[in-house]
């Protein structure tokens, strides 16, 4: 049982490049979300989804796109990378409803550096 799988683990981009951070879960969870972790800022919600075909913005959505075509996958796209997007990114999934707020399962993170 893999849980939540994020790829890649590390990535270095140049300013202006685009890329997609992959996230897949094998627990049939409806709820998925993306966070970024920055020193002194904690975990900030970027985008989230309560089911296939449904996405919504979090606290810091600018510069990022998401889509949810299947229950399992929730990719995060950086359209034109900026140094301010240097961060550690975490994907998470959970059971919708009462479980949406509880027992989110997190991936191990993607460390992204934008030069």
Tokens of 7: 């790829």
Nearer to other proteins, 14 or 98 (CB): 98
Sole binder of other proteins in the list 48, 55, 60, 74 (CB under 8 A):
48
Handedness of CA 91, 95, 100, 101 (dihedral sign): negative
Sole binder of other proteins in the list 17, 58, 75, 82 (CB under 8 A):
58
Residue 50 near other proteins by CB under 8 A: yes
Whether residue 109 contacts residue 76, with contact meaning beta carbons closer than 8 Å, is answered with no
Q: How far apart are CA 12 and CA 33, in angstroms?
A: 22
Sole binder of other proteins in the list 44, 61, 67, 95 (CB under 8 A):
44
Tokens of 72: 């399992």
Nearer to other proteins, 28 or 102 (CB): 102
CB of 90 to other proteins, least distance (A): 5
Nearer to other proteins, 17 or 73 (CB): 73
Q: What is the largest CA-CA distance in the chain?
A: 41
Q: How far apart are CA 66 and CA 33, in angstroms?
A: 10
Q: How far apart are CA 20 and CA 8, in angstroms?
A: 9
Residue 92 near other proteins by CB under 8 A: yes
Positions that interact with other proteins (CB under 8 A): 4, 31, 33, 35, 40-45, 48, 50, 56, 58-59, 90, 92, 96, 100-104, 106-109
């Amino acid at each position: 049982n893999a849980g939540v799988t994020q790829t890649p683990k590390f990535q270095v981009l140049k300013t202006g490049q685009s890329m997609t951070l992959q996230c897949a879960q094998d627990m049939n969870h409806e709820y998925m979300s993306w966070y970024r972790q920055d020193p002194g800022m904690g975990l900030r919600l970027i985008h989230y989804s309560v089911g296939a075909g449904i996405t919504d913005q979090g606290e810091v959505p600018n510069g990022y796109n998401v889509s949810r075509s299947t229950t399992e996958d929730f990719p995060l796209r950086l359209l034109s990378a900026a140094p301010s997007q240097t961060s550690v990114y975490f994907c998470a999934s959970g059971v919708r409803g009462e479980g949406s707020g509880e027992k989110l399962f997190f991936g191990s993170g993607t460390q992204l550096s934008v030069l």
